[in-house]
Structure 1
Amino acid sequence: MFRLAHISDPHLGPLPEATAWQLANKRIFGYVNWRRNRKGVLTTDILDNLITDMQEHAPDHLAVTGDLVNLALPAEIANARRWLTSLGAPEDVSVIPGNHDAYVPNARMKAEEAWRPFMSGDIVHSGSLNFPYLRVRGKIAIIGVNSARATLPLMATGYFRKAQARALSKLLDDCKEEGLFRVVLIHHPPLKHSTHWHKRLIGASRFRKTLRKHGAELVLHGHTHLLTKAATEGPHGPIPVICVPSASQGLGSRSKPPARYNLFEIGGKDGNWQCRLIERGYSTEDKVISELGNQMLSVPNA
C-alpha cells in the first residue's frame, strides 16, 4: 500500500514588507486583499498543526498543488523554499505552481528556480523546468501539470495549452503501459462551473479531452479552497477529481471550510486498483484535528 498525502494553497505567511516599487503592479490589489480579507484567516498556527498531524501519519509521498505564496515577493519565494525543505526530502515532495506563485511576470520562473528540486521529474533537464513532469514511486506515477501564469489584475485564470496536452498524453500512455497508478496534479479545477469565470482554467475542455482519451486513475487540484469530490470521463470509467481546502484556512469562514489534508491509500495492480480516501483536518467547531471522512474511491480499472 502506498500512502499519498495531498495539501494545497497554504499561502504562507506572514506577508513580508514590500517596497513601493514591488507593489507598483498587480501586487497592490493582492496586498489590499490580503490585508482586508486574508490576514488572520489564513494562519501559520493552523498550517503548522496540520503538517504535524500529517507527518505523524507518515505518508510515503506528499503532493502540494500550488499557491505556496501570496504575492510572489522574493522574500516569500525564499521562505517557501525553506518551508518545503521542512516537509521532507525533494524526492518525497512533489510541487506544482499555482496562480499566486506566478502572480506577476517572471515571478513563476523565480519560484521554479528556487523550488526546482521539488518540481523536477525523475529525468532532470537543464534550463527551464519542463511540464508536465513525471515521478514514479513504486507503482505510482505522479504527473505534475502547470496551469499557472501571470494574469491581468483581478484575474486568476489558469492555462492548459496544446503543447502540455501532447506531452501529458504521452506520459499517460507510457505509464499505462507500465501498469502504473496515474495521479495527475494541477492547480486549477479542470471541470465545468467549478469556479468563477475570472478564476477558471482556460483549456479545461482540452484537459478533459486528454483524460477522456488517455485515462488516469486520480486527479488532484486546489485553487478554490473548497472540499469537492467530482469526476471526469475516462476511457474505462469516471476518474475521481478531488480538491482539498486551503492548508492554512482558519475556523469561522462562512464560505471556506477549515484546513485539512487528504491521505490516499493506494493498493492493488493495474486492472484491480483500490484507493481509499482519508480526510483529516479541523471541524467547524474547534481546533482539534481529527478524521473527517473515510471512503473507498471508485477508480477506473481495465
Structure 2
Amino acid sequence: MFTLAHISDIHLGPLPKLTLLELASKRITGFVNWHRNRRKHLFPNALIEVLEDIRLKQPDHLAITGDLVNLATKSELLSARDWLEMTGKPLDTSVVPGNHDAYVRGAYERAMGLWHDYVRGDSTPAVYDPERKLFPYIRRRGPVALIGCSSAIATPPFSAAGFFSPRQARETAKLLKAAREEGLFRVVMIHHPPVRGAAETHKRLVGIGRFAEVMQEAGAELVIHGHTHVNSLFWLDGADGRIPVAGIASASQGPGGHKPRAGYNLFRITGSPGHWHLQHERHQLNQAGTGMELTANLPLLPHR
C-alpha cells in the first residue's frame, strides 16, 4: 500500500508589515481582504492540528497544491520555505504553486527559487534556473507517479484565474503516457480545479478544455487540486476510464466560517496496472477546533 496525504491553501499568516512600495500594486486589494475577511477565519492552530494528525497516519508522501502564502512578499516566501523545511523533506513532499504564490509579477520566480527542492521533478537540475520551465514535472515514488502542473500566474486586481498552457498540456500528456508504460499509478497535482463550474468565473482555470483533452488522450488515476477552499469530488473522462478529481478545504480554516473547516485528503493506493484500488479518506477539524475527525471514507477506484 502507498498512502498519499493532500493539503492545500495554507495561507501562512499573519501578514508581515508591508512597505508602501509593496502596497502600490494588486497587493492593496489582498491586504484589505485579509484584514476584512480572511484573517478572521484562518487560524494557525488549525494547520497545526492538520499536520499533527497527518503525522500520526504516517503517509508515504505529502502533496501540497498551492497557495502557501497570501500576498507573495519576499518575507512571506522566505517564511514559507522555512515552513516547508519543518513540514517535510523534499523527497517526501511535493508542491505546486497557487495564484497567491504568484500574486504579482516576479513573485512566481522568487517562490520557485526558494522552494526549488519541493517543486522540481526527478530529472530537474538541483540548481534553480529561472529560464527553465519547471512544470510539468514527474516524481516517481514507489508505485506512484506524481505529475505536478502549474496554473499559477499573476493576474489583475479582483482576478484569481489560473492558466494551463498548450505547451504544458503537451508535456503533461507525454509524462502521463510514459508513466502508464512504466505501470505507475498517476496522480496529477494542480491548484485550480480543472472542472467546469467548480470555481467562479473570475477564479476559473483558463485552458480547462486543454486539461480535459489531456485526460481523454493520456489518462490518469487521480487528480488533486485546491483553490476553492471546499471539499469536493468530481469526475473527468479519461483514456482508461473515469478519473476522480478531489479538492480539499484550506488547511488553515478555523471553525465558524462560511467555508468548511480545515482538513486533508488521505488516499490509500493498492493493486497493479489495470487493477488499481483507491480508497479516499477525508479528515476534518472538529467543530471545537481541538482535533480531527473522519468525515468521508469511500472507494474511488475501481469506479462503480
| TM-score interval (norm. to shorter) | over 0.9
> Mind listing any 5+ residue stretches in structure 2 that lack a counterpart?
none
Partner of 1:48: 48
Superposition pairs of residues 70-219 of structure 1, within 5 angstroms: 70-125=70-125, 127-128=129-130, 129-219=133-223
CA distance in 2, matches of 1:183, 1:49: 25
Question: What TM-score comes out, normalization by structure 1 length?
Answer: 0.97
CA contact (8 A) 1:136 1:142 kept: yes
Gaps of 5+ in 1: none
Supply the distance in 2 between the matched residues of 1:300 and 1:171 (Cα, whole angstroms): 23
In structure 2, what is the equivalent of residue 59 of structure 1?
A: 59
What amino acid does structure 2 have at the position aligned with 1:166? R
SS state of the match for residue 167, structure 1?
helix
After superposition, the C-alpha distances for 1:102-155 in whole angstroms (9 at most, x for unaligned) are 000000000000000000100023513520000000110000000001000110
Instruction: Say whether the 8 Å CA contact 1:217–1:299 is kept in structure 2.
Output: no
Kept in 2: contact 1:218–1:299 (CA 8 A): no
Q: Provide the alpha-carbon RMSD of the alignment.
A: 1.3
**Aligned AA (2:294):** E
Is 48-57 or 107-116 further displaced after alignment?
48-57
Residues 1:257 and 2:267 are matched in the alignment: no
CA shift digits 1:202-247 (9 cap, x unpaired): 0001001110111000000000001101110012211000001000
Q: Give the deviation of 1:85 after TM superposition.
A: 0.6
The TM-score with structure 2 as length reference comes to: 0.96
**Alpha-carbon distance between aligned partners in 2 of 1:207 and 1:264, rounded to the nearest angstrom:** 22
CA distance in 1, matches of 2:160, 2:290: 30
Quote the offset at 1:299 in angstroms.
4.5
Cα deviations across residues 175-221 of structure 1 (Å, max 9, x unaligned)?
A: 00000000000000010111110000000010011101110000000
Q: State the shift of 1:39 in Å.
A: 1.0
Match of 1:282 among 266, 282, 285: 285
**Structure 2 residue corresponding to 1:269, chosen from 264, 269, 272:** 272
Q: Check conservation: 1:60, 1:92, Cα contact below 8 A.
A: yes
SS in 1 for 2:86: helix
Q: Deviations over 1:233-292 (max 9, x none)?
A: 0122110000010000011112x1000011101011101101111111213465331211
1:21 match: secondary structure: helix
Q: Residues of 2 paired with 1:48 and 1:74: CA distance?
A: 23
Q: Which amino acid aligns with 1:260?
A: G
**1:221 paired residue number:** 225
